[in-house]
Structure 1
Amino acid sequence: MKRTAAIVCLSAVLVTAGCSDSKPDSGGKADPNNEKQASAEVVKSFAAAWVKAWAPNGKPDEAAALTDAPTTFGPRLDGVDTALVAQSATVTPQDEPNCTDGSTCTQELAVEAVLRGIGTMKWTSTATAVKTGDAWKIKASGDTIYPGLGEANYLKRVRALPARASILDRNGRALTANRPVVIVGVASGNVATPATYAAFTKNLDVDGAKLKARAVAAPAGQFVDAITIRAEEWEKLRPAMGKLPGVLTMGGTQSLPETSTFARSVIGTMKTATEETLKNAGPTASSVDQVGTTGLQYAYQQQLAGTPGGTVTLRDGKTKMTIKTVFSQQGKAGVPVKTSLDANLQRAAEAALATSKLPASLVAVQASTGQVLAAANGPDATNYNRAFQGHYAPGSTFKIVTSAALMGSGETANTALPCTNTINVFGKTFKNYDGLAAYGNGSMQKAFNESCNTAFISQHGRLPADGMTKAAAMFGFGKDLKLSIPAYGGEVPAPKDDVAEAASMIGQGTVTASPLQMAMVAGAVQHGAALNPVLVPGKDPAGAAASPLPAATTAALRTMMRTTVTGGTAHVLAANGAVAAKTGTAELVSKGKVITNGWMVGYRGDVAFAVIVEGGASGAKAAGPILKTFLTKFK
């Protein structure tokens, strides 16, 4: 029976065969008494009908009706289609018919069949047209489809997938490898019981009701897959689930990282192809393949998967033995994808996030190159890469940018800024966080170290309307990052009024950034210039994201971030070496309530970093301990 598939069919190339000098009758039809003209016409129609038969959802009826034995030829043509797993075909009549007498003519057919998941197979067969009464028909023979099929022989297709290539870290160590997995599912029909489906829901987080609906609707005797899990995970579940009615399993391999959580949102996941992921996987992929669905596995699916190989053999219908190999295509191994990640730093990042009870993300980058060293989301595994894609108010970590903007207007780290309990800007009252008490006049450096909101907001009149936007651009904000996987480069729109400008100076209002972007901000201070982030060297755009920061600004920011650790709000990191950092607490409204996210960004040596804790009380209290753990785990 013809398979269905949402795959674009190749157009048929139908070349009209040569005709004799005789003209068709007045109705535009071939003269049945002119053997060359009549046979060419029926061969042309047959070729077009064959193309339709092998198209997605195609049926052989039209082609069969043009033969002298429709009831036997239709299933034969459909059976070869099914055996080859053809997704489309072109059938082209060649040259002129060769007529031996007035009732028998032959004409060659050039056939190209696209074998789904392998490639294009080409051959030449011969169509024999015979005159039956006043009509011309194609002789119903297996040789018309493929030479040598005859009445009983058949074609056998075998597809071979090469081993999937690994995703590598910056040192060439494999982050993924082909590991044993078990595909867990149920028998079609009503074999499985309510207890079986309940176990899928409880133990495998599979919707039991949906699985049951699929099983009931599937043809008899089929394996209905539900989920693919690591072999060691199935061994733990097998005593409880293995003997339940209807449960079936199949073994296999899948490209997986060392654990189910390791760099999951960056490396990505793999599943049996869907209509969407099959398109991304390319023309040689099959609907039964395991393909990348997210992350780098999705982005580099075709490179990692390589090209399948395959053979088609002509088999004896009685003995089932191979007569000859009629098609062979050598597969090509996939090519590894080398990333900028450092496996050790990635483990350190994930171990640090495991200490959090709240959703958190940590990004570490190499300040001198912009290359991403680690990107983790925790404490629970998630496919959503909020470390790269999250749109967050950066809070007081954005005072790095604000300080640069004020220095660009003529101020210095020693400029006196008044720190009050509150400040009113055109009817909007702003306050300080973390219980910071007003201390009166102090330097910009002190305001930075203590994270005094009112001190920075008091200077909003010193900046032009686009002052914050331009300063943010120096740190790479607002760019399309164009990484191999989705990432957000932050946004600092020009404020619509003084209130919006004041909010932007403390990283609130319309200012948004991802943890990746804030790690790049810290890296820009360490390096002296903003760089583009890079995850896959050679693929992601590298180099400068903006002009270098002014030397005096860079020097001042480095000092201010260092003293924030030695004697300011980031003191939690004081014992972790020569760390420079900035804390941040950002307000947001969620479900009608005002909550805060805790931030901390900074650098040590050539490693810059950013941490956000969703719902964290403050940067120092929530993000600080995570960073301390991270910095303790590597030198």
Structure 2
Amino acid sequence: MKRTAAIVSLSALLITAGCSDSKSDGGKADPNDEKQASAEVVKAFAAGWVKAWAPEGKPTEAAALTDSPTTFGKRLDDVDSALVAQSAKVTPQGEPDCADDSNCTQNLEVETVLRGIGTMKWTSTAAVVKTDGGWKIKASGDTIYPGLGEANYLKRVRTLPARASIQDRTGKPLTSNRPVVIVGVASGNTATAATYSAFTKFLEVDGTKLWNRAKSSPAGQFVDAITLRAEEWDKLRPKFANLPGVLTMGGTQSLPESSSFARSVIGTMKTATAETLKNAGPTASSQDQVGTTGLQYSFQQQLAGTPGGTVTLRDGKTKMAIKEVFKQEGKAGAPVRTTLDTSLQRAAEAALATSKLPASLVAVQASTGQILAAANGPTATNYNRAFQGHYAPGSTFKVVTSAALMGIGETANTPLTCSNTINVFGKSFKNYDGLAPYGAGTMQKAFNESCNTAFISQHGRLPADGMTKAAALFGFGRDLNLSIPAYGGQVPAPKDAVAEAASMIGQGTVTASPLQVAMIGATVKHGTALKPVLVPAKDQAGPAASPLPPATTNALRTMMRTTVTGGTAHILAANGAVSAKTGTAEVVSNGKVITNGWMVGFRGDVAFAAIVEGGESGGKAAGPILKNFLGRFQ
């Protein structure tokens, strides 16, 4: 049952113990020698017991010191299994109490960690008898636990407290414990090819991998495959009704209102694996449903609380409880309060559902940096692109570029020419396909129309680290230290003029997540870049950089507003006092150059960003999604 332990040689000990009856007074054994011999055997027995209940240990060493090794070894192993002991500490107490020179007893203080529950302590008594073969421990169940005798046994029951909820910003539960069905197969060869095919077809479970797991699992085991909401299984049950080997097990799991709602932020739960069990803490069990992603993973121990349990001594014949010998009360988990706004999260997901391409949307409170919504669509995914995606931000980054140029003295009225192309040391840059060059203009017009060549024409005026420093004022380049993984963007100092030119239009080595791009909009609205916050009790709030110069802030606000009223973000013109900037970023996917469509902006205290992978442009791809989103709340 357990890891093979080295079986130490006991010959020397037993010979010493057996020869300890030296005659020193009228042919009688010296009682001090008898006590010492008895104590040595008890000490060795205690050490063997500890090894027996160690992970993958065996009872061989302890059993060899008894007068019935085979019987006692099984008994010690059975109690170990019944308690699900993780480890044991066995300590002889005081000196042996010897009735005569052949019979001694000595108490043992036992402390064992019950896996997934806690520590149980008791005192048992080892009876030691002198035989022809030396001193031996009596092979009695009472040596293990008082009252076990020859037939009684110990029974353990572990109880889990209800998992605490993940809450929105008002304290409303985003998750609750809902009925689920764990669907799997019987181990061995009970299930057929048709069974595994159904798992692949209807449950999107890899049937081949499931079959391999079933083949390698011990006989009689339930091999879990997937956990479904009870209502989902009710719809699928008829498709599995006549297939051999299908097994189900009911239970509850902490789930949001739907399988897609805030999935990549809230996270998912599954039966523990080696990795997630380690994260779940010392009282978790391999059979537990634990957090595997998102907040469910990050706050697993807080949400799960502490399990409780009991151990009862039971009659070997009637199976009835004789008495309760151990009890530990469980401790309920504590909820995790987030900054998410339930209504805005629903609005974000509904808006993304209209997209045919992969898309993400993030909304933040500009005045605090608190994240109000974070969604990925059009289908649910465990990968949180909204927080972790590494994307070229494209022309949304012209907000940062404009700030950089204003930092060297330019203004919204600085003349900038929009040409069809511009050459930088042999590299030709062009505008997005929908923009015809209009010639003379200003920075504000270049911003409104998103003219690449106009901004790149100023690259020679910026210092080498100009874009990097400007980006830092918007919070770029720092570890976000959020409760769940998130990417804060990167704007490396350009290695040459071409790289600098590319960075001015959000290309080249510039990367950002949708969350970080949303923080661009928040910075313009608030005037200072703030640290994003998802869980106020854990995530650090406050400024992420020095404030933008007031003149720069005011100019950027005006430029973003006029981009909606008369520029590339005009699709949002009917959605109130919205300010925005579009972006189209060229990326290479599967060897082909495609474009991602971006838009960043704010309305009131809500700043936002959206990206559509493979979108034609920001206005045509991200624009309709944000129009839908903004139309769902005031």
Aligning the two structures, in what range does the TM-score lie when normalised by the shorter sequence? over 0.9
Alpha-carbon distance, 1:220 to partner: 2.7
The 5 Å alignment of 1:592-631 reads 592-631=591-630
Q: Secondary structure of 1:486's partner?
A: coil
**Corresponding residue for residue 21 of structure 1:** none
The 5 Å alignment of 1:253-272 reads 253-272=252-271
Alpha-carbon distance, 1:246 to partner: 1.5
Is the 1:189–1:219 Cα contact (8 Å) retained in structure 2? yes
**Corresponding residue for residue 292 of structure 1:** 291
Alpha-carbon distance, 1:32 to partner: 2.5
Matched letter for residue 68 of structure 2: A
Distance 1:259 1:177 in 2: 11
Distance 1:30 1:599 in 2: 86
The number of residue pairs the alignment matches comes to 616
**Corresponding residue for residue 32 of structure 1:** 20
Matched letter for residue 74 of structure 1: G
Distance 2:229 2:415 in 1: 61
**Corresponding residue for residue 150 of structure 2:** 151
Distance 1:134 1:226 in 2: 54
Distance 1:32 1:413 in 2: 101
Q: Secondary structure of 2:40's partner?
A: helix
Is the 1:434–1:618 Cα contact (8 Å) retained in structure 2? no
**Corresponding residue for residue 133 of structure 1:** 132
Alpha-carbon distance, 1:3 to partner: 5.9
Matched letter for residue 485 of structure 2: P
The 5 Å alignment of 1:429-508 reads 429-508=428-507
Distance 1:4 1:599 in 2: 56
**Corresponding residue for residue 103 of structure 2:** 104
Is the 2:17–2:135 Cα contact (8 Å) retained in structure 1? no
Unaligned 5+ runs, structure 2:
6-11, 22-32
Unaligned 5+ runs, structure 1:
10-23
Root mean square deviation, CA, Å: 1.6
Matched letter for residue 593 of structure 1: K
The 5 Å alignment of 1:307-346 reads 307-346=306-345
**Corresponding residue for residue 248 of structure 2:** 249
Closer, same or farther in 2 for the Cα pair 1:162/1:284, shift >3 Å? same
Q: Secondary structure of 2:610's partner?
A: strand
Distance 1:69 1:304 in 2: 48
Is the 1:32–1:136 Cα contact (8 Å) retained in structure 2? no
Superposed CA deviations along residues 356-406 of structure 1, whole A, max 9, x for unmatched, are: 010000000000000000000000111000100000000000000000000
Is the 1:30–1:37 Cα contact (8 Å) retained in structure 2? no
**Corresponding residue for residue 17 of structure 1:** none
Superposed CA deviations along residues 260-290 of structure 1, whole A, max 9, x for unmatched, are: 1110000000000001100000011100000
Is 1:369 aligned to 2:357, yes or no?
A: no
The 5 Å alignment of 1:348-427 reads 348-427=347-426
Superposed CA deviations along residues 161-189 of structure 1, whole A, max 9, x for unmatched, are: 01101100001111111111111112222
Matched letter for residue 44 of structure 1: K
**Corresponding residue for residue 570 of structure 2:** 571
Is the 1:516–1:610 Cα contact (8 Å) retained in structure 2? yes
Distance 2:273 2:135 in 1: 45
**Corresponding residue for residue 80 of structure 1:** 79
Alpha-carbon distance, 1:462 to partner: 1.2
Q: Secondary structure of 1:383's partner?
A: coil
Closer, same or farther in 2 for the Cα pair 1:161/1:296, shift >3 Å? same
Is the 2:578–2:602 Cα contact (8 Å) retained in structure 1? yes
Alpha-carbon distance, 1:38 to partner: 1.0
Matched letter for residue 399 of structure 1: K
Superposed CA deviations along residues 112-158 of structure 1, whole A, max 9, x for unmatched, are: 11001100001111112211125111111111101111111111101
Distance 1:194 1:424 in 2: 62
Alpha-carbon distance, 1:317 to partner: 1.1
Query: TM-score normalised to the size of structure 2?
Result: 0.95
Is 1:230 aligned to 2:229, yes or no?
A: yes
Q: Secondary structure of 1:580's partner?
A: strand
**Corresponding residue for residue 55 of structure 2:** 56
Distance 1:503 1:421 in 2: 16
Closer, same or farther in 2 for the Cα pair 1:31/1:608, shift >3 Å? farther
Is the 1:582–1:602 Cα contact (8 Å) retained in structure 2? yes
**Corresponding residue for residue 14 of structure 1:** none
Alpha-carbon distance, 1:236 to partner: 0.7
Q: Secondary structure of 2:441's partner?
A: strand
Distance 1:514 1:189 in 2: 46
Structure 1 stretches of 4+ moved >4 Å:
27-31
Alpha-carbon distance, 1:214 to partner: 2.1
Alpha-carbon distance, 1:245 to partner: 1.4
Distance 1:29 1:145 in 2: 22
Q: Which deviates more from structure 2 when the two are superposed, residues 213-222 or residues 408-417? A: 213-222
Superposed CA deviations along residues 289-318 of structure 1, whole A, max 9, x for unmatched, are: 000000000000001001111000111111
Is the 1:30–1:41 Cα contact (8 Å) retained in structure 2? no
Superposed CA deviations along residues 482-540 of structure 1, whole A, max 9, x for unmatched, are: 10000000000000111111100000010000000000110000001000000001210
**Corresponding residue for residue 169 of structure 2:** 170
Distance 1:628 1:4 in 2: 62
Is 1:188 aligned to 2:176, yes or no?
A: no
Query: TM-score normalised to the size of structure 1?
Result: 0.95
Distance 1:203 1:149 in 2: 50
**Corresponding residue for residue 509 of structure 2:** 510
Alpha-carbon distance, 1:221 to partner: 2.5
Closer, same or farther in 2 for the Cα pair 1:317/1:553, shift >3 Å? same
Distance 1:148 1:538 in 2: 49
Alpha-carbon distance, 1:29 to partner: 7.8
Alpha-carbon distance, 1:219 to partner: 2.8
Distance 1:28 1:344 in 2: 79
Alpha-carbon distance, 1:190 to partner: 2.0
Q: Secondary structure of 1:440's partner?
A: coil
Superposed CA deviations along residues 81-131 of structure 1, whole A, max 9, x for unmatched, are: 010011111111111222221112211111111001100001111112211
**Corresponding residue for residue 40 of structure 2:** 41
Is the 1:369–1:543 Cα contact (8 Å) retained in structure 2? yes
